[in-house]
Amino acid sequence: MSPTTPIAFSGNPKLYRRQAIVLSLIVHVWIYLFFVATKYLGQDENWLSVWQLPLFLLISAVITAWMHYRWVMRLDAQYGKGSGWELKEVTVKLPILRERR
């Protein structure tokens, strides 16, 4: 195979922020619905009137979205000094796995 043709990576901070919010909301809405439905079907308990659960999940969703965004920005080298790593030009031979017969 010829050397890889560079394709621009489509990730950017704006997209990461939107993803973090949407993902956090989806996960927390799922947890709420799963919890309430299972309690109703399995225990015949009505948790729709319990206000502590949605409040807890709302706070958790905000914190999770914020942490997720910060995390992705660091992973994708958008934040941080990166001072722990040097970028020196070195050529090495990389071992490639031999095909099994």
Partner 1 sequence: MNAIIDFLQPYYQHIRFVHLTAVMVWVWSTSVAYAYYLLPVFKAWRRNPDDQQIIELRNWVMERFDHGVIYEHIAFPIVIIAGIMLYIVGGHSTAENWLLLKLAIVIGVFIPIEITDYYLSHFGGNKHKLRKAGSAQDYERGIQLHWWFFLITTAVVMLGGTAVIFLAVVKPF
What is the contact surface with partner 1 in residues (CB under 8 A)?
1-11, 16, 19-20, 23, 27, 30-31, 34-35, 38-39, 41-43, 64, 67-68, 71-72, 75-77, 82, 85, 87, 89-91, 94, 96-97
Measured in degrees and rounded to the nearest 5, phi and psi for residue 6 equal -60, 130
CB of 58 to partner 1, least distance (A): 15
Amino acid present at 11 = G
Residue with tokens 């225990």: 43
User: 98: which 2 tokens?
Assistant: 């031999």
Which residues lie below 8 Å from residue 45, measured CB to CB, with a gap of 6+?
39
CB of 98 to partner 1, least distance (A): 11
CB of 10 to partner 1, least distance (A): 8
